[in-house]
Amino acid sequence: EEKKSISFVEQIIEGDLAEGKNGGKIQTRFPPEPNGYIHIGHAKAICMDFGAAEKYGGVCNLRFDDTNPSKENTEYVDSILNDIQWLGFKWANVYYASDYFQKLWDFAVWMIQKGLAYVDEQTSEQIAAQKGTPTCPGTESPYRNRPVEESLRLFNEMNTAESVEGSMVLRAKLDMANPNMHFRDPVIYRIIHTPHHRTGTKWHAYPMYDFAHGQSDYFEGVTHSICTLEFVPHRPLYDKFIDLLKEYEGEAGNITDNRPRQIEFNRLNLTYTVMSKRKLHTLVDEHLVEGWDDPRMPTVCGMRRRGYSSQSIRNFIDSIGYTKFDALNDYALLEAAVRDDLNKKACRVSAVLNPVKLVITNYPEGQTEKLEAVNNPENEADGTHTITFSRELWIERDDFMEDAPKKFFRLTPGKEVRLKNSYIIMCTGCKKDSEGNIEEIYAEYDPTSRSGMEGANRKVKGTLHWLSIAHCEKAEVRLYDRLFNVENTAADERDFHELLNPESLKVLNNCYVESYLKERNVGDFLQFQRIGYFTIDKDSTPMHLVFNRTVGLKDTWAK
Ligand code: ATP
Ligand code: MG
Ligand code: MG
């Protein structure tokens, strides 16, 4: 196994292990909120969370941070389970923050009883207006010092079907002058009446992220709670709530040494796409793409449908690494990783995307020949498949020129080219319609020049791909390009609709592919020789084959 230098996160973990912290135990978690499909940014977190546990002999659990029922549902839960497995990771357990609703409620009641939390009946606007600025202390709520009994009664009222959303919140009573704004009496519970995907209508008051995440880590015995840099300012509050939780648990006789440690790394941001869940939702809801798994989406399911291998995504994430500074990662690097991996995996086949007819005039009519095509020159074990040669073939229109410049090594009258896996042919001319469009091209083949024969050894500059007209299938081919025209979409002030690339999808309906592809499956890795990497789309049927272009053979994006 290739090993590069270890990340700063791994250094921290190794330091903790060396100090004997947590009894040498390593436990991490991947904590998605089931409010959308996961994207390649989440894949980076997944590689870290699962990878670190695996590397240090620990466990990684999947925990759904499902504390906001208004945005969550089981469709997202199912897709996340599926996508993590596809990426090649296995969780030890599946947990839900919603499993801790009762424990969190009891802890919140304890906070109220200790004078550490109070119900605030102001509007969210009023509360926001009192926050102050980092250099200027906030204003205390008029409800801050209300009697404990009153807060307890109202907290219970919040959790009834009759409560009104937005009418009350529970706030931690911390420090309205703290330079860390998260300490200025953060809201820890709010009213939501949308039924929860797991607990239904049992609850009406739900904990906020900051009051659920660290506590869930603690309940589960997480040792290293790895997340992204935007949580750096939340860390003191994370630690504070864990201190209080340990005190509360200690009073009940539950004393443990466990103390989860939050560590933050940089988010993955990619050029020419968006990573915000809100924007991804908009793309789907406004039908700007076909769905979450549209092959142009940065989602894991979109990339899978596009034909990216999970290994190439993991290799890319490995190559960019983990740092403490946010950056913008070049999409071209991801594509290079995809090409690199597919080169080892893709089955080489022929497809003609812009066909023109080629007639081999000296090849007998009605005669056919079975030839062998190597599936992958990089991997002999992949074997071969059969292709058929005959008198009438499809070739690419671009592979012929009537008046060609000297450096044109494809088909032109009087010159020879090799047909991949078959014969050397000499172009003899073409037929044009009244407007000068090429209708048919003519050539003669050299019967002694078939691959493997004596005559095949002479130098011929060009090799063309081809299909026998009577032995191929019509196909639809979808050519994908970057979804946005702008490198750094997040930094652009224009509305993101204006940044969309109107040519991100081109559909070709008049393509041909080898009949062999009828036997292949959705998601198979293919290389259309001389064109690019492709896969079979889920829309494909034996009667109507559909292919997605995964990536071209070379990086053609203008720098
Ligand atoms: P939102 O907060 O709007 O729900 P999110 O993308 O942060 O969106 P979460 O479900 O909270 O979604 O994310 C789960 C985990 O994935 C978190 O630990 C988060 O830090 C991590 N994560 C999210 N986006 C990225 C990214 N672009 N790069 C790396 N990690 C990410
Ligand atoms: Mg979230
Ligand atoms: Mg988040």
How far apart are the CA of 46 and the centre of ligand 1, in A? Answer: 10
pTM: 0.95
DSSP track, 173-232: ---TT-SSGGGSS-EEEEE--SPBTTTBTS-SEEE-HHHHHHHHHHHHT-SEEEEEGGGG
Please identify which of the residues 71, 114, 146, 267 carries the catalytic annotation.
Answer: 267
Strand spans (E) along 16-141: 27-30, 59-64, 94-96, 117-120
Q: What is the pLDDT along the chain (559 residues), one digit of tens a residue?
A: 455 688 999 999 999 999 999 989 999 999 999 999 999 999 999 999 999 999 999 999 999 999 999 999 999 999 999 999 999 999 999 999 999 999 999 999 999 999 999 999 999 999 999 999 999 999 999 999 999 999 999 999 999 999 999 999 999 999 999 999 999 999 999 999 999 999 999 999 999 999 999 999 999 999 999 999 999 999 999 999 999 999 999 999 999 889 999 999 999 999 999 999 999 999 999 999 999 999 999 999 999 999 999 999 999 999 999 999 999 999 999 999 999 999 999 999 999 999 999 999 999 999 999 999 999 999 999 999 999 999 999 999 999 999 999 899 999 999 999 999 999 999 999 999 999 999 999 999 999 999 888 888 888 989 999 999 999 999 999 999 999 999 999 999 999 999 999 999 999 999 999 999 999 999 999 999 999 999 999 999 999 999 999 999 986 643 3
Q: Which residues of 107-136 are buried (b: 16+ CB within 10 A; e: fewer)?
A: bbbbbbeeeebbbbebeeeebeebeeeeee
* Helix spans in 88-188 (H): 101-113, 124-129, 148-158
Could you tell me the distance, in angstroms and rounded to a whole number, from the CA of residue 281 to the centre of ligand 2? 14
- Spell out which residues line ligand 1, taking CB within 6 angstroms: 31-33, 35, 41-42, 44-45, 227-228, 267-268, 275, 277
Token code pair at residue 298: 């940065």
Return the CATH number of the domain spanning residue range 8-265: 3.40.50.620
Q: Tell me which DSSP letter residue 423 carries.
A: -
Name which of 55, 54, 66 is nearest 91 in CA terms: 54
Q: Where along the chain do the CATH 3.40.50.620 domains lie?
A: 8-265
> Which pLDDT score, from 0 to 100, does residue 396 have?
97
pLDDT at 4: 64
For residue 159, the CA-to-ligand 1 centroid distance in Å is: 29
- Listed in order, the ranges of the chain carrying CATH 1.10.1160.10 are 277-345
Rounding to the nearest 10 degrees, give the CA dihedral for residues 433, 437, 439, 441: 120
Instruction: Assign domain 347-400+434-439+460-552 one CATH number from 3.40.50.1220, 3.30.1600.10, 3.40.50.1370, 2.40.240.10.
Output: 2.40.240.10
Token pair for residue 385?
Answer: 């498949």
d(CA 93, CA 252): 27
378 as an active site residue: the answer is no
Q: 90: which strand partners?
A: none
CATH 1.10.10.10, applies to 277-345: no
> 380 Cβ partners below 8 Å, 6+ apart?
none
Single-letter amino acid, residue 281: H
Which of 33, 49, 210, 278 to mutate for ligand 1's pocket (most ligand atoms within 8 Å of CB)?
33
Query: In the numeric block, which tokens belong to residue 180?
Result: 């860390």
